[in-house]
Amino acid sequence: MILDTAGEVAYELFGELGLDRKPRLRLRATGVFPLRCQRCLGRMDWPLNIETRLELVRPGQAIPEGELENDEFDAIEATPDLDVLALVEDEIVLAVPIAPRHEKCDVPRPSDGAEKKSPFAALEKLRKSDDAT
């Protein structure tokens, strides 16, 4: 989906304690991704602007059921070898739309200007002739 690998993403990662005294990470990331519009197949500059909170849990510790339903933050294991770049990349991948599209654009047309006929146009003619009888 990404048209060009040139560009930058700026990110900040902060450690904090929640009101419940549990350790959390706050991640902010900004940038612009050149994506391919799934409708017109043209370039679409998609602005990345995410802010997410991640609750740290000890390795092997079960995540309480109530916290699985909490949309304010996700839980991750706090390991000594936590790969911060992989964490940032995962959060960015989750933020990118599955099927990016411009708000308004046209579907691609053949270069000679001819309209492509639907393969179901013949079925429509059969249905109309059936209705007439």
Q: What is the pLDDT of residues 28-41, one digit of tens each?
A: 999 998 898 888 88
Q: What is the mean pLDDT of the chain?
A: 81
Q: What is the CA radius of gyration of the chain?
A: 24
Greater confidence (44 vs 20) lies with 44
Greater confidence (67 vs 99) lies with 99
Q: What's this model's pTM, rounded to 2 decimal places?
A: 0.66
**Whether the Cβ atoms of residue 34 and residue 9 lie closer than 8 Å to each other:** no
User: 9 pairs with which residues across the strands?
Assistant: 31
* Mean pLDDT along residues 9-20: 88
Greater confidence (120 vs 40) lies with 40
Among the listed ranges 3-12, 61-70, 81-90, 118-127, which one has the minimum average pLDDT value?
Answer: 61-70
What is the structure's pLDDT at 82? 86
Q: Is 124 exposed, middle or buried (0-12, 13-18, 19+ CB in 10 A)?
A: exposed
